[in-house]
């Protein structure tokens, strides 16, 4: 069966510091991968998606970036965090069908 | 573009009450429709889905029917439990595309009281 992992689970970072969040999927090959952000009390916003290694599509211009160095690894990064980057970050995967399956999420607080 | 509209929350019910959370959508063609549930502090879990008109998705006592004529996918449960307290999201993906992006509604907070 397929599983999706995200880490860290919780992160507190100062403004201006770098960020690296990691997502890995097990039990499947060539998944589509997605990064979403959920701000407090609000819905989900798609940030990036990837259909293959090195292929990244950005949905929202911002100071975040994404990379996919391996087939089942998706990384969300920032060089300098802003207060507005605080939120709950969710990774998701899908294969063939249109159903997306979500990871447990990373709660990021920028102080 | 595609959009999903959910009924505003929060919704508070007593245990064993009937639940309806309304969801309507705007999209071209025949999108796939989903309900996801998010328990406090957790990621989203797929609750049910429907991929074509008149399909009924069901899981854990929850049901939703894909109504093309009214562009709706309302979530229902006959008797809610305290453990159903969560945020519920209606969502859709388009009928084609290499990476079918989910479009979410704003979510509906459900609280069930004992």
Omega within 30 of 0 (cis) for the link into A8: yes
Q: What is the pLDDT of residue A58?
A: 87
Percent of chain A with pLDDT over 90: 78
Q: Distance (Å) from the C-alpha of residue B69 to the closest C-alpha of chain A? A: 22
Scanning every residue of chain A, which has its alpha carbon at the shortest distance from the alpha carbon of B104? A44
Q: What is the pLDDT of residue B72?
A: 97
pLDDT tens, residue by residue, A62-82: 789 999 999 999 999 999 999
Residues of B in contact with A43 (CB under 8 A): 89, 104-107
Q: What is the pLDDT of residue B98?
A: 60
* Residue with more model confidence, A44 or B15: B15
Check A32 against B36: CB less than 8 A apart: no
Q: Distance (Å) from the C-alpha of residue A70 to the closest C-alpha of chain B? A: 18
Q: What is the pLDDT of residue B39?
A: 93
**Residues of A72-94 as b/e, b for ≥16 C-beta within 10 angstroms?**
bebbbebeebeeebbbbbbbbbb
Q: Distance (Å) from the C-alpha of residue B44 to the closest C-alpha of chain A? A: 6
């Amino acid at each position: 069966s397929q599983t999706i992992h995200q880490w860290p689970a919780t992160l507190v970072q100062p403004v201006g510091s770098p960020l690296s969040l990691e997502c890995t999927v097990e039990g499947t090959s060539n998944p589509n991968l997605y990064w979403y952000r959920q701000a407090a009390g609000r819905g989900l916003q798609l940030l990036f998606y990837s259909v293959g290694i090195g292929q990244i599509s950005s949905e929202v211009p911002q100071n975040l970036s994404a990379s996919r160095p391996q087939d089942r690894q998706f990384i969300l990064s920032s060089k300098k965090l802003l207060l507005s980057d605080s939120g709950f970050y969710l990774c998701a995967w899908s294969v063939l069908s249109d159903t997306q399956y979500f990871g447990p999420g990373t709660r990021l607080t920028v102080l | 573009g595609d959009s999903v509209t959910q009924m505003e929350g929060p919704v508070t019910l007593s245990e064993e009450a009937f639940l309806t959370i309304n969801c309507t959508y705007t999209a071209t063609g025949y999108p796939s429709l989903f309900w996801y549930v998010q328990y406090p502090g957790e990621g989203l879990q797929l609750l049910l889905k429907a991929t074509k008109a008149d399909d009924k998705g069901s899981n854990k006592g929850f049901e939703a029917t894909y109504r093309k004529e009214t562009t709706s996918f309302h979530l229902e449960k006959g008797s809610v439990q305290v453990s159903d307290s969560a945020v519920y999201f209606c969502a859709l993906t388009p009928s084609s595309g290499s990476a079918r992006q989910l479009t979410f509604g704003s979510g509906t907070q459900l609280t069930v009281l004992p």
